[in-house]
Amino acid sequence: MKVVVIQGPNLNMLGVREQQIYGPMKLEQIHAQMKEFAEQNKIEIEFFQSNLEGEIVDKIQECYGEAHGIIINPAAYTHTSIAIRDAISAVGIPTIEVHISNIHRREEFRKENMVAPVCASSIVGFGPFGYHLAMVGMTQIMQEIAA
Ligand code: DQA
C-alpha cells in the first residue's frame, strides 16, 4: 500500500512562518514522524511539496494507478483551486485533507473550501499532530478497501 503526501504553498516555511498559528515544527520533522509511522505499519510513503498549483495537479494525476491514498494540505489553494479539487476527483483515490490550523475559526475567506467535498475526510486544528491522525485514518481506509 502506498500513500502520497502532498504539501501546498508556503508549507516549506513551517517553523519560520507565523509560529503563533502553525507552531515551531518544520516540515522535515513532520515528514520524519509520518515516515516512522509508515515503516511501522508497512506502508510505502512519498512526500511532495510545491508552491505551484499546476505542479500539485500534476502530482495528483501521477498518483493514478500508483498510490492507494493521498494526504494533502493544499494550504492557500484550499480556498481557491477548482483545478486541485477536479484532480482529486479525477483520480478517484481516497484523499484526506489536513489543515494545521482550524480554518473555521480564522478569516472569512478561509471558510471557503474547494477540496473538502471531494475528500474522504478533513482534519483541522490539531497542529502537526493532524498529519499523524491522517496516517491513522488512511491506514484504516486502505485496510477496508483491501478487505
Ligand atoms: C493551512 C490553512 C490555509 O488557510 C493557509 O493558507 C495555509 C495553511 C493550514 O494548514 O492550516 O497555508 O492549510
pLDDT by residue (tens digit) across 75-107? 999 999 999 999 999 999 999 999 999 999 999
Cα angle vertex 114, ends 111, 117, to 5°? 100
Longest dimension (CA), the chain: 42
- CA 41 → CA 2, 52, 87, distances in Å? 11, 31, 28
Prediction ipTM score:
0.99
Q: What is the pLDDT of residues 9-38, one digit of tens each?
A: 999 999 999 999 999 999 999 999 999 999
Q: Which residues are catalytic?
A: 22, 99
- Atom 12 (ligand 1) nearest CA: 75
The CA 115 to ligand 1 mean position distance, Å, reads 13
Supply the angle between the helices 53-62 and 82-91 in degrees, to the nearest 10: 0
pLDDT band at 146, cuts 50/70/90? confident
3-class SS at 75?
helix
- Which DSSP helix (H) or strand (E) runs through 3? strand 2-7
**Single-letter amino acid code for the residue at 32:** A
- Atom 6 (ligand 1) nearest CA: 76
Decide if pLDDT at 147 tops 90: no
**Which of 100, 10, 93 lies closest to 52, judged by CA?**
10
Decide if pLDDT at 108 tops 90: yes
Domains identified in the chain and CATH numbers: 2-146 (3.40.50.9100)
